[in-house]
Structure 1
Amino acid sequence: MSEMRKRYSELRSAIDELSNKLFKMHHSHVECKKGCDLCCMDYQIFPVEFDSIKEAIKNEEIQTGTKENGSCIFLKDHECQIYEHRPIICRTHGLPLLFMNDEQWELSACELNFTNFDDEEFTAENTFPQDKFNSLLFVLNKNYLNEIKSDHGEFDLIPIHKLID
């Protein structure tokens, strides 16, 4: 495994740890469960993630669903077929996300969760710092592309459905 893919795995573990902590913190508001798949889309991901997931699932028999209205090809019968190896973006769905947009901080939360939650109750301690982790992933991907001498540019993304091509 390349050094950068190893670091990707470590970053994914750190994100899982924080996500699990936040899911426990917000358990009374989170409605996410098997069958909830509104956020399961055909996302585009960085090559470091794409290659890591491709390697992880190469010997697995993956059943795919149909790609309808931009939904994820790995969603079959309302269940993610690559859940253990899913991309970082999928690991944070359902959580309140804090990010910078047009020079101001914004909060995003699932419309199915946090229906009886006052926005004033969200703080830096109980939201997921999306920009922080996206920046780390961006730099890691840039280093990965240099490491493998890829033709991909640092801003190139690959649709998840291409994992099965």
Structure 2
Amino acid sequence: MKANLLIAAGSLFLLPALTAQEVARKSGIGLEMIPQDAGAPIADISSEEEFIARRAKAAMGRPAPQRLAPRSSAFGLLEMSTAIQKGPEFILAPKGSVLFCPAELEERIVSKPQGIHMDWLEFLRANRNWITTFQVTEDQVTGKTPIAPETLEHFQKNNLLVLATLNGGLVTVIKPNQP
């Protein structure tokens, strides 16, 4: 109890000193906080000629930068996709998702699609007569286990474009390493 009284008495003693410091130390934002003799904000702006001269002086003795030729990235959407097109409509499937494509349907796999990009499920519904899917396992996706040879033979007999799916979505299938 005495400790609480001492703390309360001490805070009453220090409170006026703290408020006096707060009044003396003014802070904030706005025009009233800018000193009167600061000058105009545009006083330091240099002209274009002065800037070019300053840049040339700073670059004295250094070679001029060489412009690099642009490099094509192997990580663009089209580079990492297989475009499948029928008429004006196309989809972008992940590379490696086409498990089998018969020779008569190879022209539907294009490098530069044109037309209307469709949702995967809408495209599948509209083209069920020449596209089918095959549900793969996670081990088949990662290449740990291969797709059974009899399944691949079945794809050839059906003569349909076969796309790999996992949980209903298109997925890349990594081919397992051959010993």
- Shorter-normalised TM range: under 0.3
Query: TM-score, normalised to structure 2's length?
Result: 0.21
Between Structure 1 and Structure 2, which shows a larger proportion of helix residues?
A: 1
Larger radius of gyration: 2
Higher RCO (CA < 8 A, seq sep 6+): 1
Between Structure 1 and Structure 2, which shows a larger proportion of strand residues?
A: 2
Query: TM-score, normalised to structure 1's length?
Result: 0.22
